[in-house]
Amino acid sequence: MTTNPFFKNKGPFKIEKLLKLSGIDNKENYVKSKVLDIRDLSTATKDNITFFHSKKYEELASKTKAFFCITTENLKDYLPNHCNKIIVDNVLIATAKITQVFYPDSITDDFDATVKDISKTSFKKKVKFGKNVLIGKNVKIGKNCSIGHNSIIEKNVIIGNNCSIGSNVIIRNTIIKNNIYILDGCVIGKKGFGFFPDKEKNYRYPQIGVVIINDNSEIGCGSTIDRGSMSNTIIGRNTYLDNQIHIAHNVKIGDNCIIAGQVGFAGSSTLGNNVMIGGQAGVSGHLKIGSNVQIGGGSGVIKDIPDNSKVMGYPSKDLKSFIKENK
C-alpha cells in the first residue's frame, strides 16, 4: 500500500466496522474482510474499497481489482464477479463518509502549525529567499531554488531543482518537479470545491489527493490549483498557465499545453498534449479533451472534444461552424 505523505490513513478496518463507522447499512452482512484503503476504480487493489457512481465509468468499473465497491442497484452488474457490491442510494455521499473514516484530517484545511521562518531552518544556506518566508516540517527543496516574500511552503511539500516560487504564494499537499516557475499570489494544494446536498445541508467530500506539477512548467500569477479528491491533480511537462487560472480537483493537463488567463476547469476533466486554450474559456467537469485541440477564448466546453479539433463559442462548437454562423 502506497503511503500518502500528506494525510495519515487510519486503516485498515474490517469491512463490517468500516460500514458501521460510516453509517452505511451492511445489507449483505459482509464480515471479517480487512480493507486497507479507499481508491478510485483504476487504482484500487484487492485490499481496497472503491466506488462506481456513473455509467460513464463502466469500462473502468468492469476492470477494477477492488474487493468491495460502493454502487447502486442499477450499476452493480457492470462490476466484475470478484468485486463485492455495497448498494447505497447515494454513492458519492457514502464514499465521502468512508473516506473520512480512513482520512479524518482531510476535511479541514487548517494552517500548518509546524512552519517556522526559513532563516531558522537548514534551507537558509541553500535557498535564496525573501522576507517572512515560512517552511513546514519535512519539506524537501532541491538545488538552485528561490522563494519570494511572505510565501508559505507547508509540511511534506517536495520542490525539485531550479524552481522559482514567487511572493505571497501558499503551497501544500504538492509535489513540484524540476525547472518550475510559480508566480506571485498562487495557492496550490488546498481542498477542492466538493459538496453534496444531504437533507438540507451540504456534505463536504474529503480531498485526499495531491497536486503534481511536472518539469519545465509555469503557473501564472494568482492561479489556484486544488488537490485531488481521490486521484491527483496533475500538470504536465512544459505546460504554461497564464494568470488567474483555476484548476479544480482531479484535473489532469497533458504536456506542452498553453492556457491563457482566467480559464476555469471544473473537477475531473482531462486534457491531452499540445492543447491551446484562449482566455476566459470554461471547461465543465468529467470531460475528456483530446490532444492537439484548440479552444477559442470565451468558449464554454460542455462535452468531450476529440483529438485535433478546433472549437469556439458558448456552448463550444466546431470552429468552421462558429465562423459561418457569426459572419
Mean pLDDT of 64-80: 96
Question: Which of 103-112, 116-125, 181-190, 195-204 is predicted with the least confidence, judged by mean pLDDT?
Answer: 195-204
Q: How is the chain split into domains, by residue range?
A: 13-106, 173-325
Q: What is the C-alpha to C-alpha distance for residues 121 and 140, in angstroms, rounded to an integer?
A: 12
Note the pTM of the prediction, 2 decimals.
0.92
Q: What is the C-alpha to C-alpha distance for residues 173 and 227, in angstroms, rounded to an integer?
A: 7
pLDDT of residue 3: 61
CATH number given to 173-325 = 2.160.10.10
Q: Which of 53, 149, 249, 286 is catalytic?
A: 249
Give 268-323 pLDDT, tens digit per residue.
999 999 999 999 999 999 999 999 999 999 999 999 999 999 999 999 999 989 98
Residues 6+ apart with CB under 8 A from 16: 26, 30, 31, 32
Give 246-263 pLDDT, tens digit per residue.
999 999 999 999 999 999
Q: What is the C-alpha to C-alpha distance for residues 311 and 275, in angstroms, rounded to an integer?
A: 12
The distance in angstroms from the start CA to the end CA of the chain is: 58
Active site residue 249: yes
Q: What are phi and psi of 121, to 5 degrees?
A: -120, 175
pLDDT of residue 1: 42
Residue type at 79? Answer: L
CATH number given to 13-106 = 3.40.1390.10
